[in-house]
Chain A
Amino acid sequence: MTDQPDKTKQVLEEAIRQLYGKAAILPSSRNNYLQGGDGQFLGTITTNAYDSESILNPYGPYGSIYSPTSVHNMYSQYGSAYSALSINSPYATNPPILFLNGVRRGPVTKNLYQPNRIETEVFLYLLKHDLPALLAGRISDRIPAPTTARAYLRAADGAFLGSLERNRFAQDSILNRFGPYGSQFSPTSIFNQFGTYGGQFSTLSPFNGFTTTPPVIVVDGRDVAYLTQNSFLAGEKVDPEELDSWLMQRGL
Chain B
Amino acid sequence: MAIAAQPDPILTRIDQVLRENRRTETLFIGLAVTLFALGIVTLLLAVFTNRLVWASPSVVTTALLYWPMREIRRMRRENIALATAPALIARLPAAEAAAEIQRMLEKLFQR
Q: Which A residues are within 8 Å of any B CB, using their own CB?
A: 1, 6-9, 11-16, 18-20, 22-23, 52, 58-61, 64, 66-67, 194, 196, 199, 201-203
Contact = CB atoms under 8 A, between A and B. Distances in A.
Given A18-B10, A23-B98, A61-B98, 16 more contacts: A7-B20, A8-B108, A9-B109, A12-B81, A12-B85, A12-B105, A12-B108, A15-B85, A22-B94, A23-B95, A59-B99, A60-B95, A64-B98, A66-B98, A66-B102, A201-B111
A44 B108 CA distance: 30
B82 interface: yes
A23 B94 contact: yes
Given A18-B10, A61-B95, A201-B109, A11 B101 contact: no
A42 to B, nearest CB: 15
A11 B102 contact: no
B94 A20 contact: yes
B7 interface: no
A162 to B, nearest CB: 20
B97 interface: yes
B89 interface: yes
A211 to B, nearest CB: 12
B62 interface: no
Contacts of B13: 11, 14
Contacts of A11: 10, 13-14, 17, 82
Contacts, number: 80
Contacts of A199: 110
| Chain B contact surface mostly | helix
Contacts of A58: 102
B104 interface: yes
Interface string B11-43: 001100100110000000000000000000000
Nearest to B105: A12
B81 A59 contact: no
A1 to B, nearest CB: 8
B94 A8 contact: no
A194 B110 CA distance: 7
A45 B88 CA distance: 28
Give the residue among B78, B99, B103, B104 with the most A Cβ atoms within 10 A: B99
A14 B95 CA distance: 14
Given A12-B85, A199-B110, A20 B21 contact: no
B10 A15 contact: yes
B102 A23 contact: no
A16 B105 contact: yes
Contacts of B71: 1
Contact of A201 (B98, B101, B103, B110): B110
Contacts of A1: 71
B10 A14 contact: yes
Given A14-B10, A15-B101, A59-B99, A8 B111 contact: no
A152 to B, nearest CB: 23
A212 B55 CA distance: 49
A107 B89 CA distance: 35
A74 to B, nearest CB: 14
A18 B110 CA distance: 22
